[in-house]
Structure 1
Amino acid sequence: MIIDDFNQAMGDIAKETLGYRKTKKIEWITPGTWRAIEDRKPIKKKILDTKSTRLKERFCAQYKEKDIEIKRSARKDQRNYIEILAQEAQNAAELGDMKSVYAITKKLRGDRGINQEIPVQAEDGTNITDEKRKLERWKEHFEKILNRFEPTTFADIPEAEEGLEIYMGNIQ
């Protein structure tokens, strides 16, 4: 019984101090679209709970209509959100606020971190996943690419007959 009391106490303390984990809502979806999503959930529950095929077909038709409506609304919301961000980026660029421009660009690009776990192909076509072997393969690759033989024939490029008038500005 002591372990149950301990678990209960730890659970209560965790709820007080940490609270529940809050899911981050997608910021570009409007409240109207969220309401439509909430309206769709009971229809899905009815589909799953119903045994009758006729009722199931009717609920599936309702669900399909609601789903199409939600997808249209979400696409419209996303377009509006991107337009607003683009306008903000343009205004920031006009003001010379590059920090905001880069932040907005990063937000538009999405949070796609660099994946270091991408396998490297060996010369025979197999994938290499071991880090040490990957580095060895990269070394082989660049040695092959960068250490080429001198070409036997050189390109014959004639000199320009007249110079180009290019204004370079004041070079200091």
Structure 2
Amino acid sequence: MDIDTQWQQIKEMWTSTCSEVLGKKKYQQKDWISADTLNKVQVRKEKKGAINNSRTRAAKATAQEEYTEANRAVKNSVKTDKANFIEDLAKEAEDASAQGNMKQLYEITRKLAGKYKRTDRPIKDKNGNVLK
């Protein structure tokens, strides 16, 4: 048996087993994005599909203009949502500081800094159970 075929078999075995046990990676939505913004994102996706499905240049141009407006609306909405989220965190930090709750103040500061990196995360299967 050739080494390349052995490698392909081992690779196929690992990928199939991992996909069965672990499943696909789930995308986690940012907690500060509102439902209204998510609806605008969906509308923008539909407008993008209209651009791709348009057959004439005139139809494509009008679809592109609609997409540009929808894209601008999404960006403005995301910017507003993030500003509101940061403002709420700042108010929570002020309250924690006034109460002398340094743990909560430190956690909020780490969130605002955005440099938090979790090192050791357990591997979970499709159902969310931790593998041992």
TM-score calculated relative to the size of structure 1:
0.56
1:12 positional shift: 4.7
Corresponding position: 1:85 with 2:115: no
Q: Residue in 1 aligned with 2:38?
A: 34
* Structure with the greater alpha carbon radius of gyration: 1
Percent of counterpart pairs with the same letter?
A: 31
Cα distance in 2, alignment partners of residues 70 and 14 from structure 1: 36
How far off its partner does 1:10 sit?
Answer: 4.7
Matched residue, 1:63: 67
Q: CA RMSD in A?
A: 2.6
Distance 1:60 1:86 in 2: 39
Structure 1: give runs of 5+ residues left out of the alignment: 114-172
Structure 2 residue ranges without an equivalent (≥5):
1-7, 118-132
How many angstroms apart in 1 are the aligned matches of 2:92 and 2:46?
38
Aligned counterpart for 1:46 among listed residues 19, 43, 50: 50
Structure-2 separation of matches of 1:20 and 1:77: 29
- Aligned residue identity for 2:78: A
What TM-score does the superposition give when structure 2 sets the normalisation length? 0.70
Q: Which 4+ residue blocks in structure 1 deviate beyond 6 angstroms?
A: none
- Partners of 1:81 and 1:95 lie apart in 2 by 21
More helix by share: 2
AA of the residue aligned to 1:100:
Q
AA aligned opposite 2:32: W
Distance in 2, matches of 1:44 and 1:112, equals 34
Q: How many aligned positions are there?
A: 112
Using CA pairs under 8 Å that are at least 6 residues apart, name the structure with larger relative contact order, 1 or 2: 2
